[in-house]
Structure 1
Amino acid sequence: MTGLQGTMGLAREHARGFLAAGADRPAVPVVQKVLIVIAELVSNAVRHAPGPYVLQLAQHGGRLLVSVSDGGASSPVPRPPDLAADGGGFGWHLVQRLSERVEVQVHGTGGKTVTATLLLLAE
């Protein structure tokens, strides 16, 4: 995906379709958590990394792996939320809070992949 206008909506629709096609459909609150994590990872890739990004979803048992790869060579850095100036700072904290695990793999040739693991069936 390119990160151009409309890309975020495509990412969310892809995730909804992926989850709906599974044998075990997660409850609405779980789907909402997944969509928030996807929105944050994609928006971070668009905002902070050069070039297009790739969204990958994989289900392993009762877990969903959400991976976003981009051209940025540095790991995400949490920053304090900026309530006064609308400067953000909430996304990485949300991803960490809503996910069971978050891993960052920086590739030697450039770019990185951020993978968030979420429980699909336990709430």
Structure 2
Amino acid sequence: MKSTTISSSLTASPVVTVVRGDSAPGVSRARQAARALTDRLIPAPPPEMADTLVLVVSELVTNALRHGGGVFSLRLTAHLDAIEVAVDDASPRMARMRAPDLTDAGGGFGWPMVNRLARATAITSRRAGGKTVTAFLPR
């Protein structure tokens, strides 16, 4: 699956990037798309904000693969004051906070971290089934 740029305008209209994936290479493409988006923004965000965006994207698409049915669709939207990260997956199960697994099994760290890094998060059910997990980061 390939990433597709829907709009490349850097004016008042939002900049939208879409990436779909069903495997680890899709997660890599999602990270690359996030970095490419920040590279196109004017003014350019500080490097730490770009790193935070890449981390949030990585966590959300990885969670969609691991817990959401194995397929994701990522939409990155650069608004004037925020970057919106929206990840669709096929599972109707809502993301939940859980105690991090401190054994070698891992897990439980991503969703709390996303909630700490984002300005706001939301989970909505989709009419077609599944859900959308959205995080808004300051621009």
Could you state the TM-score of these two structures normalised by the residue count of structure 1? Answer: 0.91
Counterpart of 2:125 (choices 94, 106, 111) is 106
Alignment RMSD: 1.2
| 8 A contact 2:84–2:137 mirrored in 1 | yes
Q: Find out whether 1:19 has 2:38 as its counterpart.
A: yes
Which residue number corresponds to residue 77 of structure 2? 58
C-alpha distance in 2 between matches for 1:21 and 1:10: 16
Identity %: 34
Per-residue CA distance 1:23-81 (angstroms, 9 max, x = gap): 12111111111111001100000001124211001111121000000101121011100
Provide structure 2 residue ranges, at least 5 long, that are not aligned to the other structure: 1-19
Q: How far apart, CA to CA, are the structure 1 residues paired with 2:35 and 2:24? A: 19
Name 1:117's counterpart in structure 2: 136
Of residues 94-103 and 10-19 in structure 1, the stretch that sits farther from structure 2 once superposed is: 10-19
Whole-angstrom CA distance in 1 between matches of 2:106 and 2:38:
32
Aligned 1:28-43 pairs, distance under 5 A: 28-43=47-62
Aligned length: 120
- In 1, the alpha carbon distance for the partners of 2:46 and 2:134 equals 22
Say which structure, 1 or 2, has more relative contact order (CA 8 Å, 6+ apart).
1
How much does 1:87 deviate? 2.6
Deviation at 1:7, TM superposition (A): 1.2
Structure 1: gaps (5+ residues): none
Shift of 1:20: 1.1
**Residue number in structure 2 paired with 1:8:** 27
SS of equivalent residue, structure 1 residue 6:
helix
Q: Aligned to 2:96, which of 53, 77, 100?
A: 77
After TM superposition, the structure 1 stretch with the greater mean CA deviation from structure 2, 17-26 or 110-119, is 17-26
1:89 aligns to 2:115 (yes or no): no
State the secondary structure of the residue aligned to 1:57.
strand
Change (3 A) 1:83 1:51: closer
Q: Report the TM-score when normalising by structure 2.
A: 0.81
